[in-house]
Amino acid sequence: MKMSIICAVILVLFAVSETNAERLKDHFVGLYSTFGDNSTTEVSIVSGPEIVAMNRGAAVGKQWIAESGKYQFKLTIEDATGVTIGDLVSRIEELPEPYIRACKEVSDDGEDGIALYVDIGGATAHGGKSYINMVAGAGSRVIAHEAGHTLEQVARESDPTILEQWAAAILSDNVSVSGYGDQNTWEDLAEFAQLYAVCLGAGSESLAELDSLSPARFDLWEAMLYDDNTNNCAYGASVARTIGDTNWDCKVNLVDFAALASNWLTNVSF
């Protein structure tokens, strides 16, 4: 089944990249250089530093507890980077406020929160449900991308079909986000997460334009970003569930088709 999903996603991404000349990231490229300039996010240090052995390679570093709005989270810096806590806080403060939730999600017990390293195996950054690791020079736009990976994986815990839904959203929008995002579904999602952050920071007009150009991705990303339940349809005694509504959202659309296709012939004996 996993192989059929991967093949379907590759076909979707190939078709989208071939049918549209201008990618979304190119369309909004002028906004990237000013990302963070209008941010109102404020971060304060609650405690620290504490000397720690960081999760990646037991690197020696220092860890602080930070706070922004209703969220507390960890900031961890490998000593050898030479980066100050003030520098890292400045990068976090360039993020739109909703993205701070990703910092909180990677700050559970045993996790390092936003962690800066000298090297992470040649990459600029890695993001997942329990970590956002970056090299010393990575900025706020990188954090916004990795926040996409983090919040996608958090969402998948309650709804395992998130990536199938995203593949259907790509097909519905019929536009590429970026060349890097064309690699696979999860990178397309992370690139869109970064683009949404850029447009959110630029103001309501840019955000509305992004919504008009990529409405299916837009709605699904907002559900993940704002921690909404994507399966929130109120079926009950007075409202019968519609046949074909696989994710209980009161709609039968490409999202349901993707879920059907990914499970085609599952548990069938020959």
User: What token pair was written down for 156?
Assistant: 């998948």
Please give the model's pTM, rounded to 2 decimal places.
Answer: 0.80
What number of other Cβ atoms are within 10 A of residue 259's Cβ? 17
Q: Rounded to an integer, what distance in angstroms lies between the CA atom of residue 226 and that of residue 113?
A: 19
Per-residue pLDDT of the chain (270 residues; tens, 9 = 90+): 444 444 555 555 545 555 556 899 999 999 999 999 999 999 999 999 999 999 999 999 999 999 999 999 999 999 999 999 999 999 999 999 999 999 999 999 999 999 999 999 999 999 999 999 999 999 999 999 999 999 999 999 999 999 999 999 999 999 999 999 999 999 999 999 999 999 999 999 999 999 999 999 999 999 999 974 434 444 343 445 466 765 555 667 665 666 566 556 655 443
3-state secondary structure at position 72: strand
Domain boundaries, the chain: 1-34+159-264, 44-138
Cis peptide before 49 (omega within 30 of 0): yes
Beta-strand pair 44-53/71-78 = unpaired
- DSSP string of 3-55, one letter each residue: HHHHHHHHHHHHHHHHH-SS-HHHHTGGGGGGTTTT-----EEEEEEEEEE-T
Q: Rounded to an integer, what distance in angstroms lies between the CA atom of residue 116 and that of residue 78?
A: 6
| Lateral strand order in the sheet of 71-78 | 44-53, 60-68, 71-78, 114-117, 131-135, 125-128
User: What token pair was written down for 70?
Assistant: 């209703």
